[in-house]
Structure 1
Amino acid sequence: MWHFFKRVLLALSLLAWLLPAGAQAPRERINIDRDWRFAYGHAFDAGQDFGHGTRAFFFAKAGYGDGPAAPGFKDAGWRRVDLPHDWAVELPFDARGNTNHGSKAIGRAFPENSVGWYRKTIDIPASDRGRRIALEFDGAYRDSVVWVNGHYLGREPSGYSGFRHDITDYLDYGGTNTIVVRVDATVEEGWFYEGAGIYRHAWLTKTAPLHVAQWGTFVKSTVAGGRAAIEVDLTVRNDADKAARFTAEHRILGPDGGTLASTRAAGLGVGAAATADSRQRLALVNPRLWSLDDPHRYVLRTTLLQDGRIVDTYDTRFGIRTVAFDPDKGFSLNGKRIKLQGTNNHQDHAGVGVALPDGLQDWRLEQLKSFGVNAYRTAHHPPTPELLDATDRLGMLVIDEHRMMGTSPEIVSQLERLVRRDRNHPSVILWSVGNEEWALEGKPLGTHLAQRMHAIVKRLDPTRRTSVAASSSGRGTSLGADVIGFNYGAQHDVDAFHRAHPDKPAAMTEEGSTLTTRGIYVDDRAKVHLNAYDRQGRPGNSLSIEEGWRRVQERDWMSGMFVWTGFDYRGETTPFGWPAISSQFGMLDTTGVLKDTAWYLKAWWRPEPMVHILPHWNWPGREGQPIDVRVYSNGDEVELLQDGRSLGRKPMVRDSHLRWSVPYAPGQLEAVAYRRGVRIAGTEVATTGAPATVHLSGGMGGLAADGRAVAVVWVNVRDREGRLVPTASDRVDFAVSGPLRIIGVGNGDPGSHEADRPAERHAFVPLSGWRTLALNGPDAGPDAGFAVAPDADMTNWRDPTQWLPPEQQPPRTPYMVLRGQFDRPRLAAGQSAMLFIDQLDPGQQVHVNGRRVTPEMVDGSPAVPLDPALLRDRNSVAYVLPTPADGVAGLFDRSAGTSRWGNVRVTTAAAPWRRSLFNGWAQVIVQSTGEAGTGTLTATAQGLAPTSLQFEVR
């Protein structure tokens, strides 16, 4: 350890020597997730979209962003949110919503819910002048538009591709700057729940004019004879107005920070406002290979120097490994044949929607790994970068999938961004450039586009192969695929295809689509529940999980199988539609509880001895009736016992299961697995008593005080003997104290319409009808009283929004009245209204309906709570203030389209955090708030003993 610290100190000393005194770090990448302001806009009504798009020249002249895009816009009363944020998960379920998207109240039928505005201010120090500063978003769903300080920067239509804007030229150095993002989720991009909003991280990157370009390194390796030959492709960007000469240095760092290999190239050049590429080579002796069991990574540290001074330092994590897809032998990693035991997954989790905290990415992967998953297909879009960081770190292989087939500039740009961003991840083994493109699958155009996209990928990454996932094969896209992905064996003659195309490797990219509800063993279609026994979900189109896996195992040339899906997800509610709100294809439910089919896979995908019984053994009213009992195990024999009496010992055929018909009687079933006659595992299910206590488990007990760390907590009820009640449906209420917050709840029920993430909802009513009147003083006799009276006649008052030529300006008086109005807000039960105003002058008076009021500070802005009993059908707000030096025109110019003069916020309070158990299970996700201390999660349910769980947040 001391050697590590010595190296760190040496590196810091070297950096200090190379940098000028008081200089900044050469590169800064700052996370800007915290403290955004959020409000709903409107998809087509400008009045409900804060007047956006109505200002003259707003899109014709630079810097004319209007509505919330205007830098001076007053966002008082908007919600404070942290990123990642998904506003769709906060919306209610609605029968008018698209079932493919989980029946959330979003889309064309809900224009008031389909647009979201985000605003954030950042301070840029004067010392940053001369640097290049970029704003980077890892993803926003969908059709996002960005402004900085009122200047339009650009649009990103994709909901999944990261995007970047260089904002150097638009910043106020030494001042405060405003970032605005409008996100429109009206149009759906996929056929599954996709969320809404800035649901991935946002960053501010600062560099010198000469710097490593975004995703500007690519580390390639070949391994032979105990050595790894490393080739580094480097792209350098020069944003200066003259050409530059520089030196590039690459060092490979080991786990202790020590240098394992290095190279240096001097005299490199790049033109003004241009990029330059270079290639350098290094070698490692006895490299430690990245593998599933030892996911070791190195760091490549790239340093750029000009005139002997460091101008940029850029770290790239990479792994050294070999991958191969062979048409006869399937897939191999580091020369070892491995069957891909994969699942397909969308980015969606109970409670949080698509806005997954980084820690939840890790947790979900661990749940998949727990039953033997070693591969992950990012269906059907580029993943968030943190998912690939986690697969690298935890050891899981990835098929990285592009969103749409095509070669238009927009689609190619998205494809190139995907490959450039992800090509240093050792977990990525295959690029998927298409999925079930039905309009192309049977046509020559499909072959052509697949080949063209393959060529684009190969230009950017010659080390990996590409794939197309096809629902039919033998023509079209399947012929253009480099590696053919079969979606559902029942839809293909895979053997005939293999004979006809013996040079083409293959994988079963989707299989299963089984329809099961966790914990249900008798269909109840009225509740959209389907029994959890493994079977063909769509006969003739897909296979059972067992059938699919056995077919893959029987074919050495088949690289592996990706089950559709790992997790259940909102939307795609086959075979029901409303009132179902989630899919039932998963091996785990939406909360990550293993379904019985996951236990089947665990028997054959994991080496540890195991045995699993289904169903549970709580069947009141079915005494004496036969129950279909199945057992999964990787033993070679299993014995089933009922209340200690053997029901027989049966041999287990590999990749299969065992089955008994057992008359129900309250008591206990026990399964014992044997291997070569020796007991290796045992399990039991027992009839439980009534629920007695709430139970919380699964939290780690400690969280980092960073405002990001999460803990996933299981919620159950137990009987008096401490046994989990598998049929419990009690409703549980949750509360937290200390430095904790709840960010989501769920229970895995595909028919539950309970709120996943209760949130406060705000609607805004702008003040309108503004008029001004000149006054001689703040209390100038009857004139002033008349000016603020509720029923004052303002017919001849001046409209402050209308420009007047100098010769028509009225005489300037010491004081003035600025007066607007608003209609009575419609308040439902539980709603409240508040008037947000501006501090136009330190000595101003504020009158509401003729009554002088004293505003209070609410979240940093002056506000007046509105008493419904004192409101009228038409209400007035009047400011009495000294006339500004630049008059009424200046007051209006500073008003950001009158948004600064006031608005009324109608607030619907968030519902309490609660969830009903579903077949004995629910989940609550807690997150640290950013402070240190002891946090407590408490769970209560009517008639049951409560419980709590403590977390040390440090």
Structure 2
Amino acid sequence: MERIFAAPLGGSKMITQRLTHNWAYIQSSLGGAWEVWRKDKLNNHYNLAWSEVELPHCFNALDAMDPDVPYYQGQGWYRTLLEVDNPYLNGRTLLHFEGAGQHTEVYVYEDRVGEHQGGYDEFTIDITDRLREGQFPAYYENKVPIAIRCDNTRNLETIPSDVSDFNLYGGLYRYVNLVYVPAVSLETVHVISQVSADRADIQVQVKLYHPEADKRSVRLRLQVWDDTEQEIFAATVNRVTWDGSEVVADFEVDAPHLWSPNAPRLYTCKVTLEDEGTGTETAETVRFGLRYFEFEKKGPFYLNGERLLLHGTHRHEDHAGVGAAMTEEMIACEMRLIKDMGANFIRLGHYQQSRIVLDQCDELGLLVWEEIPWCRGGLGGASYRQQCKDMLTAMITQHRNHPSIILWGLGNENDWEADFNYFDEEAIRDFMRELHALSHELDDTRLTAIRRCEFCRDIVDVYSPSIWAGWYRGVYPEYESYTRAGFENTDRFLHVEWGADNVAGRHVKKPYTGFADIQTGQGADERDGDYLLTGGDPRVSSLGDWSETYFCDMIDWYLRAQQGMPWLTGTAQWSFKDFSTPVRPDSPIPYLNMKGVVERDFKKKEAYYVFQSYWLEKPMIRIYGGAMDVRTGSAEEEQTIRVYSNCSQAELFINGESAGVRTRDVRDYPNAGLRWNVTLLPGMNQVVARGRNESGDVVSDETTFVFQTESWGVPVSLQLSSYEEPNGHVMIEAKAYDAEGVFCADAAVRIHFGLAGSGKLLDNLGTVRGSRSIELANGRACIYMDPRGGASMVSARCEGLRTAFVEVSGECGVRDK
């Protein structure tokens, strides 16, 4: 049996236990559920295959970034022994999954009790009936043996497509909860509102979970509080149990406290259910917000009656070392970084994401486009279409209370064929109409949206064409004209997905623009194959330098232009964080989409500060390339120091002397005029920047670096150095040198780290400090290792260069195991 169950957002009397510990895992296609438990009876080599894990757990946490082998797609099994003690007479015992990839089967001992297809929506398996049967071996000491099989095997008749630009991860990569409920309990509580500036009409809709379906009397007590904890509504309702969703309260709120990115005010609704026959009580508490919005036809976006330019980015559920298995703390950290960048909008690509993400968006004030994973590949058969509808229904049902959500996404790049030997545009149009109608039937308070499917742009409420001016097509000075053309070509326009790959730590004096090499005026849409590094039309993505410098210049141009577009609804840069993908093996770090403004472990790139300089209200200042420890040039040549700041004025100091004050002017591209041509000393230099806003607030940034005046030739050798870290790890640094022994500060060759001995490279992390195959950034690369208490020899090799070695002593970085 399978059932969609909306567990409480918080504050509920419902008994819920997060099942984090005491799990074992094996990566294997077992012969059957009995093999999960056979190890308890037989003492043989099979026992060694299981490993202890904690949830959330992704079985592609590391292999998704392995440069040498494709990531695993197959079965992974989990097992645990649960102590079950349901306190409710005739109560139900549930396993609630916040998401698992991609096809999940649940077993109590050897018996399958439920399954779920889909890697991103929540689902619940009711194990009550199997528990009543009992009959578990005595050596489990009254504990319940639970086995779960997760399977991310390739399947053309499921979504998303395997040609999507992200991994279809496997595992219990979101939290699993043990839930006890009475015989009759609350399944969903939805708060539906129609809002204006001075009034909100509110309905509370309740659906019961009542598998026995016998009629009984229940009492509902409702309480609603505003964001100041002032009770604004209370009622008691006596009813006989019902099927489906019913309106149990209808009331008005005068002068509502409106939710917005600057003031994310949340109301609270608590519904307490009492079974009058048994006296049993359970309660569910949900949060909601009151706001209204409009995408004006052929015009901008309005929130609560005022124009709001959407400053957006995107998010994949992906992180260094854990894959999709991000903890609640990791998610909160990422969402805080997004908000602190100045964003007020986020597209969750390309699937329903964790409830924790949506809670954070509500609390922080981030407007949301959330979508189902109908991504690329075409359109399959009846089961394929039913899965799309089921996922849309689940997403809306489970996330409807979140005020942050304004758009339900119905698909992404549905014009990208690949999975079937046919491609039928009319069939896709018909099905898109069906999804559009279903979305409005389930929730008529939000709009529908898709990105990049021109032949469906007239079906949905809001459309985003493909505009990649300056990366996959054209050059970024064309951005304004292509954006205007996209706006004129659809009723309600929103530009999501733009940006450029950039290698963290790679900086250039004169970034590649391609203005002379790349054809202009021929569109800015990404076309099939443009993401490849070879073939096709000339484009910056294949000819460019992949530097942070180019990326910052592009962002600077886009954001400057957006300020002069009064008709624009907004945009969303792709993507906030670097993420793993199976379709990019030739990236500077293999299998990494490197368009992030932060790395896969949250380390900020320079682009983060460019966004802050335009979007953030709190004063900030950043010297471009603050982490660069070497800058180069001739001693006689003036060097440009660039600063990003939202302050009205900034002053630069070189080695203690003022280089002058500049006034910020967005018309003065780049850096809004905050750039200085200065003379640097050979050797060490100190640079300080101080910004002052109109209120007199002062912020500062400083950096030190070596100014290298020696010129260099082609790299001929690598040199390795090791540095012990306070945490016991060792950093291995590789640097390229020419035949004269001069450091090659622009070298970008690919190197491969290796290790022999007792230690272990901390690799497959998808960062510039955690990848054993990587292109140099400004002549250098590094990786960390765990010496594990023994001696090791670390190597770095590159085709055409002499291989370098460094020995790491066993005494270095020894830590207790």
| Aligned residue type for 2:304 | N
Provide, for residues 204-259 of structure 1, a one-character-per-residue CA deviation record: whole Å limited to 9, x for no partner. Answer: 2222232222xx22112233464432211222233225333433332213568764
Cα separation, 2, equivalents of 1:369 and 1:122 = 39
- Equivalent pair of 1:71/1:150 in contact (CA under 8 Å): no
Give the structure 1 partner of residue 57 of structure 2: 85
- Equivalent pair of 1:70/1:149 in contact (CA under 8 Å): no
| Aligned residue type for 1:218 | H
SS in 1 for 2:72: coil
Larger Rg: 1
- Equivalent pair of 2:493/2:569 in contact (CA under 8 Å): yes
Give the structure 2 partner of residue 395 of structure 1: 365
Tell whether 2:447 aligns with 1:461. no
* 1:663 Cα deviation after fit: 5.4
Tell whether 2:570 aligns with 1:560. yes
Cα separation, 2, equivalents of 1:37 and 1:653 = 59
Tell whether 2:767 aligns with 1:748. yes
Give the structure 2 partner of residue 404 of structure 1: 374
Tell whether 2:54 aligns with 1:38. no
Give the structure 1 partner of residue 598 of structure 2: 588
- Equivalent pair of 2:100/2:170 in contact (CA under 8 Å): yes
Give the structure 1 partner of residue 118 of structure 2: 158
CA distance change for structure 1 residues 644 and 580 in 2, over 3 Å: closer, same or farther? same
Structure 2 counterpart of 1:208, from 175, 182, 203: 182
* 1:317 Cα deviation after fit: 1.8
Percent identical residues: 22
Tell whether 2:348 aligns with 1:382. no
Structure 2 counterpart of 1:668, from 686, 689, 705: 686
Give the structure 1 partner of residue 550 of structure 2: 534
CA distance change for structure 1 residues 520 and 945 in 2, over 3 Å: closer, same or farther? farther
- Equivalent pair of 1:261/1:283 in contact (CA under 8 Å): no
| Aligned residue type for 1:357 | T
Cα separation, 2, equivalents of 1:83 and 1:138 = 11
SS in 1 for 2:549: coil
- Equivalent pair of 1:345/1:377 in contact (CA under 8 Å): yes
Provide, for residues 387-414 of structure 1, a one-character-per-residue CA deviation record: whole Å limited to 9, x for no partner. Answer: 1112222222221121117672222111
Q: 1:819-898 to 2 correspondence within 5 Å? A: none
Give the structure 2 partner of residue 119 of structure 1: 79
- Equivalent pair of 1:29/1:203 in contact (CA under 8 Å): yes
SS in 2 for 1:550: helix
* 1:654 Cα deviation after fit: 1.6
Tell whether 2:315 aligns with 1:345. yes
Give the structure 1 partner of residue 398 of structure 2: 421
SS in 1 for 2:256: coil
Cα separation, 2, equivalents of 1:583 and 1:299 = 40
* 1:668 Cα deviation after fit: 2.3
SS in 1 for 2:463: strand
Give the structure 2 partner of residue 296 of structure 1: 265
CA distance change for structure 1 residues 678 and 534 in 2, over 3 Å: closer, same or farther? farther
| Aligned residue type for 1:753 | R
Cα separation, 2, equivalents of 1:623 and 1:668 = 18
SS in 2 for 1:506: coil
* 1:498 Cα deviation after fit: 3.4
Structure 1 counterpart of 2:643, from 631, 640, 645: 631
Q: 1:229-248 to 2 correspondence within 5 Å? A: 229-248=201-220
Tell whether 2:284 aligns with 1:314. yes
| Aligned residue type for 1:178 | P
Cα separation, 2, equivalents of 1:630 and 1:572 = 36
Provide, for residues 894-933 of structure 1, a one-character-per-residue CA deviation record: whole Å limited to 9, x for no partner. Answer: xxxxxxxxxxxxxxxx98599x9xxxxxxxxxxxxxxxxx
Give the structure 1 partner of residue 493 of structure 2: 506
Cα separation, 1, equivalents of 2:352 and 2:41 = 34
SS in 1 for 2:326: coil
* Structure 1 runs (4+) greater than 6 angstroms displaced: 69-75, 255-258, 522-526, 676-679, 688-693, 941-948
- Equivalent pair of 2:260/2:303 in contact (CA under 8 Å): yes
Cα separation, 2, equivalents of 1:79 and 1:367 = 34
Supply the RMSD in Å over aligned alpha carbons.
4.3
Give the structure 2 partner of residue 326 of structure 1: 296
| Aligned residue type for 1:324 | E
Cα separation, 1, equivalents of 2:590 and 2:318 = 16
Structure 1 counterpart of 2:236, from 250, 264, 289: 264
Structure 2 counterpart of 1:485, from 444, 464, 485: 464
Q: 1:126-205 to 2 correspondence within 5 Å? A: 130-172=90-132, 175-187=142-154, 189=162, 190-205=164-179
- Equivalent pair of 1:147/1:153 in contact (CA under 8 Å): yes
Provide, for residues 263-284 of structure 1, a one-character-per-residue CA deviation record: whole Å limited to 9, x for no partner. Answer: 33323442xxx54533421233
- Equivalent pair of 1:513/1:563 in contact (CA under 8 Å): no
- Structure 2: stretches of 5+ with no match in the other structure: 1-10, 135-141, 155-160, 418-422, 474-480, 513-532, 534-541, 708-720, 734-744, 754-761, 775-785, 793-807
SS in 1 for 2:572: strand
* 1:158 Cα deviation after fit: 1.8
Provide, for residues 627-674 of structure 1, a one-character-per-residue CA deviation record: whole Å limited to 9, x for no partner. Answer: 553222224454444334555555533274144555553312333445
- Equivalent pair of 1:327/1:557 in contact (CA under 8 Å): no
Give the structure 2 partner of residue 653 of structure 1: 665
Cα separation, 2, equivalents of 1:521 and 1:628 = 12
- Equivalent pair of 1:634/1:654 in contact (CA under 8 Å): no
CA distance change for structure 1 residues 512 and 529 in 2, over 3 Å: closer, same or farther? closer
Cα separation, 1, equivalents of 2:182 and 2:77 = 31
- Equivalent pair of 1:518/1:748 in contact (CA under 8 Å): no
* 1:606 Cα deviation after fit: 0.7
Cα separation, 2, equivalents of 1:140 and 1:332 = 36
Cα separation, 2, equivalents of 1:73 and 1:83 = 26
CA distance change for structure 1 residues 619 and 750 in 2, over 3 Å: closer, same or farther? closer
Q: Does 69-78 or 594-603 show the bigger shift? A: 69-78
* 1:594 Cα deviation after fit: 1.9
Cα separation, 2, equivalents of 1:678 and 1:317 = 39
- Equivalent pair of 1:117/1:183 in contact (CA under 8 Å): yes
- Equivalent pair of 1:611/1:631 in contact (CA under 8 Å): yes
* 1:91 Cα deviation after fit: 4.0
- Equivalent pair of 1:573/1:580 in contact (CA under 8 Å): no
* 1:692 Cα deviation after fit: 9.3
Q: Does 123-132 or 427-436 show the bigger shift? A: 123-132
* 1:118 Cα deviation after fit: 0.2
* 1:291 Cα deviation after fit: 2.6
Tell whether 2:642 aligns with 1:642. no
Cα separation, 2, equivalents of 1:529 and 1:373 = 27
Tell whether 2:78 aligns with 1:67. no
Cα separation, 1, equivalents of 2:788 and 2:222 = 54
SS in 2 for 1:512: coil
- Equivalent pair of 2:98/2:121 in contact (CA under 8 Å): yes
Tell whether 2:655 aligns with 1:618. no
Cα separation, 2, equivalents of 1:91 and 1:457 = 37
Cα separation, 2, equivalents of 1:498 and 1:245 = 55
CA distance change for structure 1 residues 947 and 295 in 2, over 3 Å: closer, same or farther? farther
CA distance change for structure 1 residues 489 and 529 in 2, over 3 Å: closer, same or farther? closer
SS in 2 for 1:498: helix
Cα separation, 2, equivalents of 1:549 and 1:400 = 24
SS in 2 for 1:545: helix
Cα separation, 2, equivalents of 1:80 and 1:584 = 32
Structure 2 counterpart of 1:335, from 305, 311, 315: 305
- Equivalent pair of 1:84/1:198 in contact (CA under 8 Å): yes
- Structure 1: stretches of 5+ with no match in the other structure: 1-11, 13-24, 43-48, 53-64, 99-104, 108-113, 537-542, 697-712, 718-725, 732-742, 756-909, 917-940, 949-954
